[in-house]
Structure 1
């Protein structure tokens, strides 16, 4: 029965869109990262991203990480600024021990911008964070 299914709450795992300098191309880029602020490793991390609005939808992007070590982060994807006019979702599933966790992170349209930058945990950069 549905009432018997226990859905554990995800804590200590975040998604951030970071504004950083790309030394190779000499540009300021926006990159999405997953952050594991927990004291344990995450296994089989699956990330599905997409953007949408009332009349537009992006392609779906999928990424898999075999392991995301404790107190670390990994780049998910480069993000074009045009995408910030859309709602952007990051559906994240992972195993912690033998238990599966799942959470959807939503960056609402027009919330990712230079005025919204804040310090990102574990990273020495500024960006927009969703917990």
Structure 2
């Protein structure tokens, strides 16, 4: 898929203020505030900004971090990794591969089979239950 690019004005008209702050300004939602933390149904998690499929419910798990967590993206092309040196530490930021929206970070303290914890802002995700 070709890269989705929009002006700030276009993103602001598409997203709520909180979605814009998280996805376009690389913000973070408060831990424990996302309704997606409690989501247990089978389904798919998409980018709230562009609809790109990011994660499957089968890879979601309770990490205890306060944010929706997954051990793998839907596919290798769904997300991109970027070095994040904010907060005086080096972390790996995760963005939507299609629209470059900030989603969260990935850490190497997750469960098998990958050992990864994709710690995502629920505001950046849209859940679509399986029918």
* TM-score with structure 2 setting the length: 0.31
Greater fraction of residues in helix? 2
* TM-score with structure 1 setting the length: 0.31
Q: Kindly name which structure, 1 or 2, has the bigger radius of gyration based on alpha carbons.
A: 1
